[in-house]
Every structure is written in structure tokens, then in C-alpha cells.
Amino acid sequence: MDDVIKDKEQRIENRTIIRVDVLVAIVFIALAVIVVRLWYLQAINGEKYKVFAEENRIRSIPVRAPRGKILDRDRRPLAVNRLAFTMTLIPEKMDDEKLLKRISELLEIPIDVIEERIESKRVDPLMPRVIKRDVSPETVAYVKEHSDKFHGVEIIDDPIRDYPRGTLASHVLGYLSEISDEELENEEPEYLLGDLIGKNGVENEYEDVLSGSKGVQLLEVNAGNVALRTLKKEEPDPGNDLVLTLDAEIQEVAERALQKGMDLAKKDGFKNARAGAIVVMDPNNGEILAMTSLPTYDPRIFSGGISEADWAVLNDENNLYPLNNRALMSSYPPGSTFKIVTSVAGLRTGVMSSRSRFTCSGGWTGWGKRWLKWCWKRSGHGSRNLEEALTVSCDSYFYDVSYLIHKRGKEELQLWSRKMGLGANTGIDLPGETGGRIPDKKWKAEFNKAWPENQTWFPGDTVNMAIGQGDLLISPLQLVSIYSIIANDGRIPRPHVVKEVITTDGMKAMAVETEEMVKIDVPASDFKAIERGLKKVTTVADGTAAGAFIGFPIPVAGKTGTSEVAGKDDYAFFAAYAPVDDPKYAISVVIEQGGHGGSVAGPAAREVFDYLFGIEDKAGMKR
């Protein structure tokens, strides 16, 4: 019996030993695997995982750069930066619905708008989310007084854009707004949601110059992504400043003159005269001294984030789209201001000379009485040469000239229009420019593709174009450019609004390239013949702008225009340069639905010239 018991105990002991041996073996193997793994991680890939650990421990947070200022030609500030209160929310509180609701009620911003602003994959997880810029001091005080209800809300000092002269030159300056999702996809990767970016004007065109380069802040974080301390901070490089060609004082005068011109039109019964543009340029180098467009807008409403109501106002057709820069984004049939182009084409094709005379009886019957076309003066102007026809703006004279050009069959009126820069962008350093339209046979056929009966180019199309009507379209910027060509004896200036780029301490930062003026192949004698007629427009009794320039001592070469637009009142135009013998300024004026160019656009130009030459207005705008 004892032997049996001992044998049983021996078997149990043997099994125990085996189990212990197996367990020891397993432990040994496990330890060996761990040792090998540690050796692999540290000896083989140690450097790699060290980098991973550092990256998980350290966060790089971008620091926005101060934006460059925008100054006028005398370095007077037009767009600057000011410190404002910006409300932000730390990432840990992004899902706090009660907090978001309190913020929504306080700021009167829909909660879904707030959620959209704070949810972005393009923002570093540690960066506070911008909720609203330019928060009022009262709101800041309320948040601080009730800090227990706004845990996670931070108020920071943040530079935002300010415009010391309010709406002055707003279309040239543009505005800033938070970058959109679509722009984030198209822009360079340094932009993040919440960044401000230039929209319209030089704010947009020179974004790279003004924006500067971001700095960086290195933060040490724990496993929960909570910042523990700042390890390093590299300051951003501020943007450079822009010095514009604009003169703030001339700009102010031009804006006031344009409004007065519209007021005159309303007194004359043109109640819809609510929009227009004036461009003042140095014809010698293309520098834009003033560019105004009405209606306008206040770029400051974008500084803290524009409201839906304000945005709706700016995009309401009834408000005539105030964001549009009519000086270069809008194109119009220019009326009789275009007759200088018809004059150049007539002289260059040889269908006339400056001495050629055509008779105006009031009704033109160049292709038969059945297609009678009236001159603006129904009683007629009699026999006129080029100089006299420009002075009184005789339509019949230019009907005759253009019909002779048309019969040559070479579309030469279009050819010389394009040689003078029409039908294409001027190349100005502003976004959104329209090239206008020079209609021809090809354009008409394509435009009327669905209406074969309207595809033929008729003589009447050329004749209408000759007096700035029909399908011809040019912008106010193009208009001032072609008058600068006459002033320059054929040299074409390239309009531009930036004079130089400087650093924040006033040193030259980079050169602004300006193209050399191209000269078109027209003898100076042709331009002088046209100029003599333009000079009489403002000086002789029957000149169409003589009333606006009574008593003005400086010789001005100008031309009025009255353009018919279907379904609307006539548009008023005036274009000119002065002094005639040594041109320093060129100007174009358009007043939509303003009536007659000599009655409203001419006086608006006179007011600007009064300021430019220091002349006291004795007539012009004071009627």
C-alpha cells in the first residue's frame, strides 16, 4: 500500500517539475523576446522612435505675421492695423454644447455658424479656434465678469485691418476676410482656417507682399495634448508696405465730384443716376492718381467678420452691387467719346484727311433714305472738317467716315480700336478687369449662333460703332487710356496703382516693374489734328463741354459722350487731358443714367481739374 502511495506521489512530483520547467522555459523565452525587441527598438530603430517621441511631445504652432500697411503716394495711411479683442475657444471645449449656446446668445451668432468656424482639419489641434474678431469692450467685460460660465473662452489682442479714411478708395484697397474652404484647397499650405486673406483690390492682388511670413511657437505637450510649456518662439516676418500711386486728396475730390455729378443729373430729371466712375491718370507714366466708383462700401465692416445682413446688402441688385469697381469691372458703350478712335482709323486708312469736309443735314442717308440715321442735332451741322466735327460732336460726319472705312471690307475700324488697346485688358495691377468688347463679323456670328438671321455684319453695325454705340463696350479705365494716347502722340501707358514696395521701416523692399510705353504707328500730325478739335470742345461757344469749362484758364482737350442703353436713361461720359501743350493729367467720367455728358460728366471733370490746377470754380458744379 505504501509503495502505491509513494509511486503516486512520485508521479505528481514529476508532473510538477515538468510544469515548472515548462513555465521557466516560457518565462525565459518571453524574456528573451522582450530583450530582443528592446534591443531591436533601441539599437536598430532607436533613433527613429526617438524622433517619433519628440514629435509627439512637441507641437509647432504657427504665429500670424502683422500685415503690411497701404499708403498713398505721399505715404499717408489708407489701410493700417489696429489691435482689437478676438474671442477664441480652446480645443478641449469644442464639444461643450452648453458653452457654445452661451457664446451664441452673447454674440448673437447662430450656433451652427460657430460650430462651422471651430471645426477644421486645417487647424492645429492645440490652436484656439477663432470665434469672432473685433469683439466689443462690453462683451469682453461680460465674459470676464462671468468667467465661471465661460471656461475655455479666451480673449486675445489681435491685429485687424483698419481704414483711417473710411470708404475712401475702397475699391482700390479691397478688404480682408477669413479664408474660405475653397480658397484653402487652392492656396499654399501655410494658410489655415481663420487666417485673413485679401479680397478685391490691392489687398488681393498683392497678398503675397502684404501678408508676410508666419512665425512658429514650439510647445511641450503631455499625452493628452495639453500644452505644458513654451520651448521656443520664432517671431514672424511682417508683411511689406505698399505705396500706391493714388493721391488721397485727389481721390477725395474725385469721389465728391462724382457724387455732385449724379446730384446734377437728378436735378435735370435723371432720377436713376445712382452709379458711376471717375479715373484720373498721369498720361506720361500710367500712374493712377484717383479711381472712384459709386456706389461704394466701407471695408471696415469686414474687419470683425461681416454679418449676413450686411453681405446681403452688398450683393443686392437694388443696391447696384457696391462691391463692383465700375472703373475697371464695368464696360459701357462710350458714345461720342469713341469718335477719337474713328478719327484715327479714318486718317490712317486714307478715306479722309483732317481737312476733308462732310455735310450734315441732320439726317444721314448714306445707304438710302429708307435707312435714315439722325444726327443728335436734327437741324444739322452743315459742312464740317474733322476739327469742327469733333468740336460739335457731329454724328453725321463720323457716319460718313465709318461707311467709307466699311466699304474697304477690311474691318479697319476694329483694327485701329485694338491697336489703341481696346478689346483687351490694360494690364492694371488690380483684379477683375474687363477687356470690354470690339464687335466684328466673327463675334456677331458666334454671339447670334442660335439666330442665323442676325449673324450678318451690316454697314449699320460699323456706322453705329463709329459713334460709340451698337455692341461696342469699353471701361472707364480704357477710356482714360485712349485719351492718354492722344496726349502722348501715340504712346500707350500701362495703368498701375502701386508705386513702390517698402519695409516697415520705410526702406525699399523690392522694385515695382513698369513696362515701357509702346508707340502705335500714327504720325504726330494726326493726333494734333484730333487734339485741335478736342481743345475747342471746352473753349469755343458751340463746343459740347464749353458750358462746364467757362472761365477755366488751363487749355483742356476733351470730349463729351451721351450713350443710349436699351431700357435705361442715357449714360453720360466725358474724357479729357490737360494742359494741352504739356499733359499732366487725363480723366474719364461716366455717370450711369445721368443724361448728357456735357451737362453732368463734364462738370464733374471740371471740379477735379479745378483742384488739380488750384482754380476756383466759377461755373461747373455750382449751378
Give the strand pairing for 241-244 and 70-71.
Answer: parallel
One domain for residues 254 and 234: no
One domain for residues 468 and 569: yes
Does the bond joining 295 to the residue before it have cis omega, within 30 degrees of 0?
yes
Residues 453 and 347: their CA atoms lie apart, in Å, by: 34
One domain for residues 130 and 189: yes
C-alpha cell at 505: 521701416
- Here the CATH number for the domain that contains residue 142 is 3.90.1310.10
What lies within 8 Å, CB to CB, of 34 at 6+ separation is none
- Establish if 488 belongs to a structural domain: yes
Residues 199 and 178: their CA atoms lie apart, in Å, by: 9
One domain for residues 16 and 100: no
One domain for residues 240 and 252: no
For the entire predicted model, the pTM comes to: 0.85
- Establish if 85 belongs to a structural domain: yes
One domain for residues 18 and 111: no
One domain for residues 468 and 606: yes
Predicted pLDDT at 53: 46
- Establish if 303 belongs to a structural domain: no
Predicted pLDDT at 7: 63
- What is the average pLDDT across 559-581? 96
Predicted pLDDT at 194: 74
Question: Structural domain of residue 178, as residue ranges?
Answer: 60-244
Q: Which residue among 177, 303, 336, 484 is the active-site one?
A: 336
Predicted pLDDT at 518: 87
Q: Which of 222, 244, 266 is the last residue of a domain?
A: 244
C-alpha cell at 266: 437728378
- Establish if 374 belongs to a structural domain: yes
How would residue 501 be classed by pLDDT, with cut points 50, 70 and 90? very high
How would residue 158 be classed by pLDDT, with cut points 50, 70 and 90? confident
- Establish if 80 belongs to a structural domain: yes
Highest mean predicted confidence (pLDDT) among 17-26, 207-216, 305-314, 332-341 = 332-341
One domain for residues 237 and 292: no
Predicted pLDDT at 553: 96
Q: Amino acid identity, residue 239?
A: G
Question: How many domains in the chain?
Answer: 3
- Here the CATH number for the domain that contains residue 469 is 3.40.710.10
pLDDT in tens, 107-147: 888 888 777 777 765 555 666 778 888 888 898 888 888 88
One domain for residues 139 and 6: no
- Neighbour count for residue 154 (Cβ, 10 Å): 14
Predicted pLDDT at 185: 74
How would residue 54 be classed by pLDDT, with cut points 50, 70 and 90? very low
- Establish if 306 belongs to a structural domain: no
CA distances from 383 to 190, 375, 405 (A): 69, 13, 20
> At 116, is the secondary structure helix, strand, or coil?
helix
Predicted pLDDT at 623: 39
- Establish if 309 belongs to a structural domain: no
pLDDT in tens, 410-467: 999 999 999 999 999 999 999 999 999 999 999 999 999 999 999 999 999 999 999 9
pLDDT at 487 over 80: yes
Residue that the C-alpha cell 460703332 belongs to? 465
Q: Which residue has the higher pLDDT, 106 or 612?
A: 612
- Establish if 367 belongs to a structural domain: yes
How would residue 27 be classed by pLDDT, with cut points 50, 70 and 90? low
336 is catalytic: yes
pLDDT at 55 over 50: no
Residues 218 and 486: their CA atoms lie apart, in Å, by: 61
One domain for residues 452 and 339: yes
One domain for residues 496 and 555: yes
pLDDT at 88 over 90: no
One domain for residues 19 and 83: no
Predicted pLDDT at 483: 98
Mean pLDDT score across all residues of the chain = 87
- What is the average pLDDT across 482-499? 96
